[in-house]
Each structure stands twice: as C-alpha cells, then as structure tokens.
Amino acid sequence: MAFTFAAFCYMLALLLTAALIFFAIWHIIAFDELKTDYKNPIDQCNTLNPTVEKVKKIKRVKIALKLVLPEYLIHFFFCVMFFCAAEWLTLCLNLPLLAYHVWRYMSRPVMSCPGLYDPTTIMNADILAYCQKEGWCKLAFYLLSFFYYLYGYVFHFRICPSC
Amino acid sequence: MSGFTNLNSSVGYSQNSTPNGGAAPPYQNGPVQTYPAMYPPAGYYGAPPQQQGYSTIPGHAAPAPNKAPVTNNAHSANYYHNNHQQQQNHLPQHHVAPSPYSAPLSSAPPSQPYAALPSAAPPPTNAHYNQQPFQPHPPYATPGSYYGQQSYHPSSARQHPSLVPVTASGPGAPLYPIVSYPSAPGSSQYGTLSSSQSTSAPVGMPTQMVGAPLHQYSAAPPPSTTAVQPGYGVGPPGQTAPTVVNGQGSAAQNAVHQHYTQSHQASLSYDSYSGVPPGSGGADTDQPPSGTPSTSVHSSPGHHQGVQYGYVANSGASSASATTSGPAAAAAAAAAAAAPSSSSSDDDDEEEDEDEEAGGDTSSSTTGSASPVPNSYDSLEGGSYPDSMPPSNDMTNQAAPYGSYGYPSMQSAYQQGPASHTDASPSHDLYGQSGYQQYSQPFPNLSQLSAALGGLSGVPELEVEALRPVNLLQERNLLPPRPLEAPEPNVSSDLKKVNCSPQTFRCTLTSIPQTQALLNKARLPLGLLLHPFRDLQQLPVITSNTIVRCRSCRTYINPFVTFLDQRRWKCNLCYRVNDVPDEFMYNPVTRSYGEPHKRPEVQNATVEFIASSDYMLRPPQPAVYLFVLDVSHNAVEAGYLKYFCESLLENLTKLPGDVRTRVGFLTFDSTIHFYNLQEGLSQPQMLVVSDIDDVFIPSHDSLMVNLKESKELVKDLLTSLPEMFSQTRETHSALGPALQAAYKLMSPTGGRITVFQTQLPTLGVGALQAREDPNQRSSAKGVQHLGPATDFYKKLALDCSGQQIGVDLFLLSSQYADLASLACMSKYSAGSVFYYPSFHYIHNPAQLEKFQKDLERYLTRKIGFEAVMRIRCTKGLSIHTFHGNFFVRSTDLLSLANVNPDSAFAVQMSVEDSLADSSLACFQAALLYTSSRGKRRIRVHTLCLPVVNQLSDVYAGADVQAITCLLANMAIDRSVSSSLSDARDALVNAVVDLVSAYKSNVSNLQQSGLVVPASMRLFPLYILALLKQKALRTGTSTRLDERVFAMCEFKTQPLQQLMRLVHPDLYRLDNMSDQGALHLNDTVVPQPHLLHLSAERLSRDGAFLMDCSNVFYLWIGKCCNEMFIRDVLGCPNYASIPPNMSHIPELETPLSERVRAFLDWLQDNRAFSCTIHVVKDDASAKATLFQHLVEDQSEVASSYRDFLQHIQQQISK
C-alpha cells in the first residue's frame, strides 16, 4: 500500500483540476456576462465609475479575467509533476494544452502588466466569441482530465500493493 | 458655475465633488518635500513681455460675456418679432402657413435634410411640405397616408398658437433643469454614484459637503454665489433678476424666484418625490390661464392626472398670451413648474427601481416617465448652430429671452409637423373611428408589398436599374455624372420621407437580408456608418417631462413605431407594446390633445431631447479645456507655438462653453511647466515640476481657471508664451509625464486635453524608440510596427475615458514620432488625431495654412462632453464590431469622453436570428451628451430599412460607398492585428467573392466577363483605389506615420470625406457649361461632370480640378486655354503661373466667379476648409496629383484593367 509519487501526482492533479474547472466556469460566466449584459454595462477594467451595485459584479468579472495566469501556472505545474513522475502518456495528453497556453500568452496584445485581455478589443464580437468558445473547450478538457486523473490515482493506488 | 453651486446643494451629490473642492484638500498630491522641485516663477517668466501684454490687451479685449445678454436680447427680439409676424400671417389665411416657416431657412445648404429649400434639391419632406398646402386633393394612394385637406387646415390654423407653448415654456428650460435636479427621482443614483466615486478619489472633508462643491467648478467663487446658496443659487442674483424677467412684469419675476426657492428646498429634502416640498403643496396647480404666477408655482405631488391636464391647459393658455403679456409668460413658467409634480405618477417607483437595475450608471437608460424637468423647449442650443454661438453669461441668461431661442429650435418641428403629419399619420377626422387601426396597417402592408417585390414580379424602376448586370470588362464609363448619392431604401414613400438622412446614418445594405445565410450568400458586409454628432442646421429639440421609451428595450419613440390605438404603441425594435403616457397625448405642434403620432418625436427620425437629471450621473460638467504644449527645441524650431497662440487668442471667445468654462495650460520639454492663472494675479505664474518620475500637481485650484474671470491672464500668457521658450536648448520631450499631469489636473471635472507634440517622446514613462526603418518603407513584404509599442498611452486613454476626459493629438513632426503608439491616447478616449508631416512655419507654408485652418475649426467646433452612444437594432440583428475612436463599454454602448461633430463611426452587424417575422429593420443610435453649456441632451437617430428574402433585392439595395468604407475599416483592423498583405488580400477577395456570388446566384445569363449588379459597378474601382491609398498601399515609399495617420482617418472620417480620400472627384473646369447648374442665392454654381481618375482623361488643353477631400488640386495643362489662365488665375499665360500657387485670386471675370462659386460650393459642407494647390503640367508637384489617378498603372500597382483581369483569373481558378 505504498503511496507512490505517481499516485501523489495524480492526487494533486485531481485537486488542482477541480480548481481549474472552477476557473473555467468562472471564465465562461465572465464572458457570458460581458456578452449578454446589454443593459448593465460591465466595466471589466474599471475605467469608468461604476455604481455601487455594479461593483460586486465587476469585481467578479475582473477576478475571472485575472485568473488566467494562475490557471496557466497551475497547469504548467502539474505538467512538470507528471514529467517528474515519468507519466508520459498523461504528459502527452496535456502537452497540446500547454503549447496552446504558451502560444496564447506569447501572442497577447501589447501590455505592460500580466494579463491576456485587452479591454479595448474584448467587446469585439469575434474575440468575445473566441474567448467563450475557449472557455467551453477548456471546461470540457478539464472535466475529462479530472476523471482521467481520478482513474489514474485509483489505478496507481491499487496496483502498487502488487508490486 | 452658478448652476453647479445650486446643484451641489443636493445632498447625495456633494460628496462627489468634495474631493476636488478647491478648499478642502488642496495639496494632496504634492507632498511637501517635493516642492523644492518648483522654481520660483520669476526666473522663467520675463517681465518685459508681460508689460507689453498688459498694455495691448485692455485695448482690444472684448468683454465677451458682457455681450452675451445683449445678443440674447437681440435674438429674442428677432424671434419674438418673427413669431408675431407669423401669427399675423397665419391668422387670416393659413394656407400660407408654410411660407413663413420655410422662408428663414432658405439659406440653408441643400444637404440639410429637414431644411426647407425651395430652390435647390429639396429634400423629400420639404417637397411634400411645400406641396401640401396647395394640394387640396385627397389622400395618397398608399395606405399610410390619410392626408386630407380637411385635416390639414385645422392643424395649420392652429399652428401659430402652438408655437407659443414653446415660447412660453422656454424660460423654464434653462433655469429649471438645474434647479430641479437635486430633487430628481434619480437622486438616489447620485447617492450611489458619489459613494463609488469617492472611493476612487481622495475623499474630502464631509463637513464641507455643501460648501465645497462651490469651489469645484469655479476657481474663485464670487461672494454673490455664496450668498445665494441657501436660497437657490442659480446665479448671482444681480444677473438673474433682469435676465430672467426680460422686461416682464415684476410679478413674473417674483414668480420665478419664488419658484426657485421652492424647488431648492425640495432638493434638500429629496425624498419628497416631486421635488416640491410638502409645504408648498398647499397651492394647487390648476391655475387659471391668466393665473397669478405666484400661486401657480407651487404644485402638489398629489395631483397626478389633474395636474397633467392642468398643465396642458395651462401652457396652452398661457402661451396664447405669452407673446403679448409678461405675466402670462410667467404663468407659463409656473405651468412648467407644475409639470414636474404632475409626472410623479404612481408607477414611478416601479419605473425607477427598474432603472436602477437597468444600469443607472449608464445614463442612457433611465426612466422615461418621471422627470422633474418641466416642459420647456430648450432654446439656446437648438439644433441650429450658428457659427459662433453668443456666449451667454449665466445659466439664467439663457432663460431670459423667453423661449425666443426655443422658437427656432422648435421651428423645425413645426415645419415638420404639418409637413409630415400628412403622410405617416391619420387625419384628425379618422381619429375616433378606425383611424388607429388603419394607422397600424402601413407596416404589414409594406411587408406584403416588399414581399411582392421580392418575387421580382413588379420590380420598380429603380431596382431594375440597380440590378442591371454590368459587364465591367466592357463598360468603361461607370462613373455617374454627379457624385454618387446614397441609394434610397426601398420602403414606402411615407417612411422614406421621415427616414434618417444618409449623411447621418447609412447602412451598407439598404435592404437587410432576412437571415445570416442570405447575408453570407451575398458576400457583402452588413454594417452601419454613422455620423451622429454632425453639424445640423436644423434639429427638432424636444423638452418634455417624459421621454417616451420602450419599457423593455429602452428604445426612444420614433417615427417607425406603430400606434395600436390611442393609448398604446408597439416598439419597432423589440415589438413590445407600451403605453402612451398622458403627456404624450398632447401635441405641442398642433396644440391638440389625443394625437400622439403627430408629436415631433414621431415625425422626425433625428431629434434631440433635453434630458432630465435621470440621465445624469453627476451635474453636467462645465466645458474644460487643457492645452498641453510641446516647447522643446524641436517644437520651437517648427514654430507652431506662435500660430497656436494666435489662433487661440482669436478664438478665445468662440470656444464653446458658458460662464463656467475653464481653461488651463501646461507646457513640457524635459520638465513640466504649469501656469497659475488665478484671478487677481498680476501676471501668469509659471510653476515648474522637474520630477517627471513622480508627477504631482503643484497647485490644485489655480491651474485650471475660469476663462471668464481670468481672461486677461490667459491672454497675457498666450501673447508671451511664444517668446518664453524661443531660446530653449532642451531637446528632450517628457510627453508621458506631462500627460499624467494633465490627467491629474483634469480628472476632477473631465473635459478635453489638447496635446501638441512635435517629436518622439524620449523621457519618463511612455518614452518611445524609433521603430521605423526608412529602407523598408517601400518593401513589399509586410509593414511592421502598425501597432503600439507600449500600452502606456492606451492605459492613459482608458483612465481618461473613465474620468470623461478626451485627448486630442496634434502631431507636427518632421521625423518619425511613432504615431501608432501616440494615437492610442486619442483612439480610446474618443479624441481626434491631426497630423502635419514635416511641419515648419517657414519651409512648409502649405502645412502651416492647413494647421491654422484646422485649428480654427477645432477650437470653435461644437463639443459634447461625457457622452455615451448606444446603438439599438431590431431584434434579430446584433452588433459585431465597432470602428472609430471610443471605448466600448458594453456590446452596444460606446463611451465617448468627448464627442465632436467631425468624427464618424462604423458598426459591423450580423443577423443572429431570422428577421422573417418583420418587414422592416430599424436601427437607432442615441447619443447622450453634455453640451458645452452644461445641458444634458440626447440626440436620437433612427433608420428604417426593409427586410428582404431575395438575393437580388439585397444586391439592388447595396450601397457601394458604405460597403467600401466598412471594408476599409475592417481591412485596417486586419492589417494591425494580422498583416498588411492579409488585409489587401481580403479586400481583393471581397471583390472576387462578390462577382462569383453574383454570377452563381443571381445572374442567370451565362455571360462571360465580370458581371456585377449595377448598384455595385463601382465596387472593384473603389477597392482598387483603396489598395492604392496611403493606408493600405505597398511598394510605394510611405512613411510609417503617414500610413498610420491615414488609417486613423479611415476610422474616424465621415463617409463622404472618406470616399473623396479614397476616390477623389475629378472635374474639368475650363469648359464648364451652365447646363444643370445650381442657382443658389444669385450665384450660379456650375456642375461639371465627374471624370474617371485616369491620365487619359486629362488633356493638355484643359484645366482640371481634383477634389481629394482635404485638398484641391487644380491641374493646368500645358496648352490650357489662355483665357482661363488669365481669367481665373490672373496670370497672363501658362509660363507665368508661379510654381507654388495655392489660392485662386478673386477676379471679377465671369469665369473666375464661376470657378470660385463651384469651389465654394464643394467646400460648403466640409468641416475643415480645404487648401488648393495649382499644379502645372511640368511641375514636380505633378507626382502628388498623379498618385491619385487610381485607374492608371503605377510602378508597383496595377491599372484598373489589369486589376479586373486579375479578378477574373481568380474567379476562373
């Protein structure tokens, strides 16, 4: 009943993926709010005076948009963990997303602070649609990988006694 | 100023303003230890120029503000007089009614959509209008119009008295909104706002709450204001009394005053709903028409319906006598006062709550029903904008002329009233009966009609012409003889008449495809081009308690709504059925009750509302202008400063604004210099801040000063400024820190920052590197660095936009200055960019002249502050992308810190849901802004277009110019986000796609060659011209800054300007005939034919004029008729024409007069005046002209024929 490093990685990934799912949902909600909120303009970059009622909502959106970097880092972190644990298959499954994250961050608009979204272009329908789609795809990916990690965790936990 | 003091007495509010209230926290930004950075003023500021300044100025200083009342009075007298005359005219025979109305307007340029112009190109409404009175024959055939003589007469007969409510309620207008605003139902909004604002700004002492606001907008509050404060504080009483009353009886004066006092009290206890203190409810509102004003002032909130009717009766009655009797006018004011309470009906609570939720912070969605502003037709800024508005002394002054100003603004409504009531509305007679049913029919009928048209059975002539297949390879003369007009939407003639002017609002497809699939099939972009704040000669301005809007989508009522019956209307955008509020039942135009469809709102597609306090987040800001001037060595070399100062000195009194107008100056090189212009100083003080890493404001209350109070100091400064820096050796430029300082100076109020920059910023934040490689300018492989190098300017612009500050940039650089980065400061703060490449005051006189002309226009043009624009469209359509200078706040909301009359916007649209269930698609752009006089106004434009389900109809309605402009905007986005070659490919593909789509879907003829519908026959030509335009061309050496500037222009120029930039108009001038000439005010304006832009059209024996939007080229051929040269240019022969001639002499010869008349006519509608260059055949300047001949082959770009062949190859591939 040894608790191997691989099993630990899977456990960690499981927990972190749960967080990522949460992030993804937040992300989706944020963009949905941006898109559908015709009457209550949301000020995702706090450039305009928000009324008090709006502040909470705006904060939520802002937080959601700020979660991008943590999300990337978390994902990168457990990719490294899998690398260390020599879980090659799992790593391969994660590599495309990792590559996408790197590309996405490289091609971000000119900005002096960390971040991905430019408040001046975010309302552009194409970009908004793209971001929404991205959110849904990621949610799907994280959900699938959640179950995959669950399986991996249980698998590693179970086979260990035999070895 | 006075207005503000008053406003600030509202409790929730004052907090807002405290942070910057001059008294409370003066030096928050400037810690003591940083102060040593300031030099003593004397060192920089030389005394001698000062003295001179003093000696000269008092001599010619025109005390403009003092003039104001005089002008006002004069105007009032005029209008008064007019009014009278009209009445006299009317009474005996109302047939003649139209003539007095149209007469004063006859000088309006033809572009004016609503102007009644009998002579030149009468717009449809006008034609209609002119005809109607003399056409006794019965209704039109179309179901929409029930015009009958019978119905017309009564209305025209009643016309004159109906003027009077306007006049009568006039006084209320300027005075009232201010006073009443604290008591607004929306005052809770203030509360919320202020609290949120106070988080962002340093909070002032709460104990100062009432007092502090005084200082906010006035550098030095005069004692009189403070004295008034406990009362109502509209202004210094000394000024108020005479102006308000304007020669009325003293009773009136009392009335007005008393009224104010009352409403002020109300404002303090604003929980009482109507803005009237409970105590004042004693006197009831149903005043007798002649009522003693003093009693009629007070109105009780409990008086809902009764009051409303009462008000109607009142204003009517009082108006009837207003022209003659003073007290009656006062009664009208009283009636107006009564109105606010009347509007506080039971459902207000609900309405308001809804509003809070529905985005109280965007001012564009607020209640339509409960507004405390009384019914008054605002006067001063009526749509008709004279060149220079008489500066008014005080808010109260505006009220003075008793609606006299209101009259012209209303005039249009009047004119419209009788004119259009004939078409889109049932006649009186039909009213009680089936009138309404019938009225609602036009729309369904229209749908049937257009459906029938879609079937291509009975296609009208126009459509046939638009659909005629044109083989581009065969037809060579594609250009129409006159510049292309916007295609008319294929809607019923009634709707056509009221539809928005194409100059303001234009759609790429005048027939909207029913589904996205159809739109995709057509391969044409769907979008709008709008020019919302365009200078209009005539604009119905409406002030009413209730701005009627749809309850669910907040659409403003417009001519395209359907009245289901007398009490309900159906929104044309979301199809919700709404109630017609009681007040709306009364029509001020015909002065009759029960005709909601004849209100000006329903008769005009472009209207302006005076907004109530519901539409404000804070009191309307004053006009505040800050000039940020580069005074580095480079700038001194270029020598712009002198001309700027001269121009500003000249136009100081013409700056749009009122008594509260504030100005400030800030200069910078490697340090930042502030100027203390506080009233009472003997000379301007310069404060230098050399710590550019941590910029602070040395003095809070004396840097932005009231223009009126410190005018002498400002003049002093402007006269001495050019010399002050003439010896400077400082070559660095700390633009970034200077902008930060400017932002800090302006953030309490908002306003406009004008930046003059002459080189690449090199110091502090926002410093930039030269990125351009001159050797790569003409390289075909992609142009780099079209995007910004840093986001500093963008972030600054967003901060500015948040504080309602617009930043305008004048770049006068001879070297690369990275406009791509710098322009961001204007792009996202809704500013404008001006660029003068290689500006030098001696070496480049052409640029200097342009700079001076632009500056004059820039300084004097109208301006709107703290604006937002919302674009609504029929359910099913959605907005995809915006183009222009603004910040997008929500999917359909643009935040515009400043709005100017010269900037336009483009919107890409998409069809989200099928539009099958409606036959008409409508678009509404509502621009909410604060005028330079501190009035909150909403300008609403509505466009109505048919929906079609046939591809051929889509093509028939295609507007080739609008499509080209929208594509240009899209291409520019693409070239920044992707690459220039991508953008160019996309443009070529647009042509290829169109031709192949048309070939495969519509034209059944198996023709060879390039076949396009006639409506799109110019499309390939325009696209080719676009590809050769500075912004998008490759191959030719183009400086990066010029390219970026061209891109900026594409994003902001209105369509007509843009089209001339892309495809200039070419005319032959030496053989103009009078055929088809226009006759305007005794001058004959010849109308020569448009020529193709090809060198083969130029002949050596001719003289040709090329109109490139901002510059004219007059090309003189070598063998040009000597008579022409002599008569027009004043030179004996070709050889003696000077090489750099840039004006046309005013000669007395008929030919010269003709040419000048034509040139003037061309310039007439342009905001910025054009320069003219006479280009000789052999001159080197020829190249600049020839680069515009887009149909010809250049070294790198193909000719038109080659381009067509290229397209054909692409298709056959």
Residue of B nearest to A112 (CA): B791
Beta-bridge partner residues of B587: B592
Residue in the structure block whose two tokens are 């959509």: B113
Mutation target among B794, B824, B828, B976 for the A interface, most CBs of A within 10 A = B794
Averaged pLDDT score across all residues of chain B: 68
pLDDT tens digits for range B1067-1115:
998 888 777 778 877 788 888 888 888 888 888 888 899 998 888 988 8
The shortest CB-CB distance from B790 to any of A37, A48, A112 is to A112
Beta-bridge partner residues of B922: B944
Is B795 close to A112, i.e. CB distance below 8 A?
A: yes
Dist. CA B483–CA B1180, nearest whole Å: 29
pLDDT tens digits for range B59-71:
343 333 333 333 3
Dist. CA B678–CA B705, nearest whole Å: 6
Dist. CA B386–CA A161, nearest whole Å: 92
Helices (H), A41-87: 52-66, 68-84
Residue B1163 confidence (pLDDT): 86
Closest by Cα among B350, B11, B17 to B189? B11
pLDDT tens digits for range B986-1017:
999 999 999 888 888 876 666 677 888 888 98
User: Chain A: nearest CA to B796, how far in angstroms?
Assistant: 10
For B464, residues 6+ apart whose C-beta sits below 8 A from its C-beta are none
Q: Is B42 exposed, middle or buried (0-12, 13-18, 19+ CB in 10 A)?
A: exposed
Q: Cα dist. B44→B41, B497, B516, B731, B775 in Å? A: 6, 63, 66, 18, 43
Q: Domain limits of chain A?
A: 5-38+52-159
Residue B512 confidence (pLDDT): 93
Is A47 close to B879, i.e. CB distance below 8 A?
A: no
pLDDT tens digits for range B117-137:
333 333 333 333 333 333 334
Residue B285 confidence (pLDDT): 35
Closest by Cα among B181, B1177, B962 to B619? B181
- Pull the structure tokens for residue A154: 């249980």
Is A49 close to B802, i.e. CB distance below 8 A?
A: yes
Beta-bridge partner residues of B1175: B1115
Residue B1096 confidence (pLDDT): 84
Which range (B359-373, B505-519, B908-922, B1155-1169) has the least confidence?
B359-373
Dist. CA B139–CA B430, nearest whole Å: 12
The answer to pTM > 0.80 is no
Q: Give ∠ CA B840-B845-B847 in degrees, rounded to 5.
A: 70
Q: What percent of chain B has pLDDT over 70?
A: 61
For B63, residues 6+ apart whose C-beta sits below 8 A from its C-beta are none
Residue in the structure block whose two tokens are 């450039």: A47
**Cα radius of gyration rounded to whole Å, chain B:** 30
Is A50 close to B361, i.e. CB distance below 8 A?
A: yes
Dist. CA B638–CA B753, nearest whole Å: 21
pLDDT at B555 over 50: yes
CB B864 within 8 A of CB B898: yes
Closest by Cα among B1131, B1099, B1132 to B1117? B1099
Is A41 close to B890, i.e. CB distance below 8 A?
A: yes
Dist. CA B491–CA B1210, nearest whole Å: 37
pLDDT tens digits for range B869-892:
999 999 889 899 999 999 888 888
User: Chain B: nearest CA to A113, how far in angstroms?
Assistant: 9
pLDDT at B503 over 80: yes
Closest by Cα among B279, B191, B267, B190 to B229? B267
Residue B463 confidence (pLDDT): 62
CB B73 within 8 A of CB B146: no
Question: Which amino acid, B248?
Answer: Q
The shortest CB-CB distance from B893 to any of A41, A50, A112 is to A41
Dist. CA B1001–CA B1020, nearest whole Å: 19
pLDDT tens digits for range B681-727:
888 889 999 988 998 888 878 899 999 998 999 999 999 999 989 88
For residues B628-633, average pLDDT: 93
Residue B780 confidence (pLDDT): 59
Band (B243; pLDDT cuts 50, 70, 90): very low
List b or e across B696-721, with b for residues whose CB sees 16 or more CB atoms inside 10 angstroms.
bbbebbbbbbbbbbbbbbbbbbbbbb
- Pull the structure tokens for residue B738: 């200077």
Is B787 close to A110, i.e. CB distance below 8 A?
A: yes
Dist. CA B78–CA B83, nearest whole Å: 8
Which range (A43-47, B481-485, B1054-1058) has the least confidence?
A43-47
Q: Cα dist. B154→B323, B428, B605 in Å? A: 21, 9, 25
Contacts of A47 in chain B (CB under 8 A): 798-799, 801-802, 887
Is A53 close to B882, i.e. CB distance below 8 A?
A: no
pLDDT tens digits for range A48-84:
333 344 445 556 666 666 778 888 999 999 899 999 9
pLDDT at B363 over 80: no
- Pull the structure tokens for residue B828: 């996202």
- Pull the structure tokens for residue B1144: 């046309």
CB B129 within 8 A of CB B116: yes
Dist. CA B1016–CA B106, nearest whole Å: 35
Beta-bridge partner residues of B870: B893, B926
Is A48 close to B801, i.e. CB distance below 8 A?
A: yes
Band (B197; pLDDT cuts 50, 70, 90): very low
List b or e across B792-825, with b for residues whose CB sees 16 or more CB atoms inside 10 angstroms.
bbbbbbbbbbbbbbbbbbbbbbbebbbbbbbbbb
The shortest CB-CB distance from B889 to any of A43, A109, A111 is to A43
pLDDT tens digits for range B640-665:
999 999 999 999 999 999 999 999 99
Residue B1071 confidence (pLDDT): 81
Is B192 close to A126, i.e. CB distance below 8 A?
A: no
The shortest CB-CB distance from B358 to any of A39, A109, A124 is to A39
Residue B1003 confidence (pLDDT): 63
Q: DSSP readout, B874-905?
A: -TTEEEEEEESSSEEEETTEEEEEEE-TT--E
SS3 B613: helix
For residues B284-300, average pLDDT: 35
Interface of A with B (CB under 8 A): 34-43, 45-55, 109-112, 119-120, 123-126
Instruction: Count Cβ–Cβ pairs < 8 Å, chain A vs chain B.
Output: 100
Cα B1017 from chain centroid? 32
For residues B835-863, average pLDDT: 91
Is B910 close to A125, i.e. CB distance below 8 A?
A: yes
The shortest CB-CB distance from A39 to any of B365, B794, B795 is to B365
Mutation target among A51, A118, A122, A127 for the B interface, most CBs of B within 10 A = A51
Question: Which amino acid, B1173?
Answer: H
pLDDT at B833 over 90: yes
User: Of B1164 and B230, which is predicted with more confidence?
Assistant: B1164
Is B888 close to A112, i.e. CB distance below 8 A?
A: no
- Pull the structure tokens for residue B32: 């003591």
Which range (B341-355, B548-562, B750-764) has the least confidence?
B341-355
Is B881 close to A119, i.e. CB distance below 8 A?
A: no
